[in-house]
């Protein structure tokens, strides 16, 4: 059985017919060709598939595309500015060497942006580590990821940049 799904993806309205069982991650990757959203586990444990749905981070491997009907979805491809300038969180991940293989990075960045938006007064290391518990990185020890999230959040809220440790 197919259903019509109308979603605004990265600011552009999209309407497609999909099978009712199509996951949002499949819709983004296979139907729209937005492969920045990764599939890491299919069990909602790794966080590689995190996107924003109506401004909140969601693991897109656990949401049907039909459930996102009428919603605004932002993927890692839609996070940067229209002129290609990186989002402050993306820039912080690059600056603080918060990635290695890069597989978890899109989901990690999307979760970090939502975390920063939910803590507009700033965050400490404990808040970041707890906030990213649903995102797994198999390459790093998280130290640089935590530094990047704090720096990116500071930039997002207009706070002066702190010296890297």
Residue-wise pLDDT for 115-127, tens only, equals: 999 999 999 999 9
For residue 131 the two structure tokens come to 């906030």
pLDDT at 161 over 90: no
Q: Categorize the per-residue pLDDT at 43 as very low, low, confident or very high, splitting at 50, 70 and 90.
A: confident
Q: Report the 10 Å Cβ neighbour count for 93.
A: 25
Q: Could you report the per-residue pLDDT of 52-61, keeping only the tens digit for each?
A: 999 999 999 9
Using CA atoms, how far apart are residues 78 and 159, in angstroms rounded to an integer?
24
Q: Could you report the per-residue pLDDT of 127-152, keeping only the tens digit for each?
A: 999 999 999 998 877 999 999 999 99
Q: Report the 10 Å Cβ neighbour count for 164.
A: 11
Which residues contact residue 31 at a Cβ distance below 8 angstroms, ignoring those fewer than 6 apart? 16, 18, 22, 65
The domains of the chain, with CATH numbers, are 2-78 (3.10.20.30), 88-156 (1.10.150.120)
Q: Report the 10 Å Cβ neighbour count for 46.
A: 22
For residue 20 the two structure tokens come to 């009712």
């Amino acid at each position: 059985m197919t259903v019509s799904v109308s979603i605004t993806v990265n600011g552009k309205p999209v309407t497609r017919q999909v099978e009712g069982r199509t996951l949002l991650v499949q819709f983004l990757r296979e139907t729209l060709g937005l492969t920045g959203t990764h599939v890491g586990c299919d069990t909602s444990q790794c966080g590689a598939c995190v996107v924003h749905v109506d401004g909140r981070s969601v693991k897109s491997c656990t949401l049907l595309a039909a459930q996102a009907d009428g919603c605004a979805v932002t993927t890692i491809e839609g996070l940067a500015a229209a002129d290609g300038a990186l989002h402050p969180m993306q820039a912080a991940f690059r600056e603080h060497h918060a990635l290695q293989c890069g597989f978890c990075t899109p989901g990690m960045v999307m979760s970090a942006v939502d975390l920063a938006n939910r803590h507009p007064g700033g965050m400490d290391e404990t808040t970041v580590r707890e906030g990213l518990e649903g995102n797994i990185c198999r390459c790093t020890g998280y130290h640089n990821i935590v530094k990047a999230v704090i720096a990116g959040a500071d930039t997002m809220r207009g706070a002066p940049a702190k010296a890297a440790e």
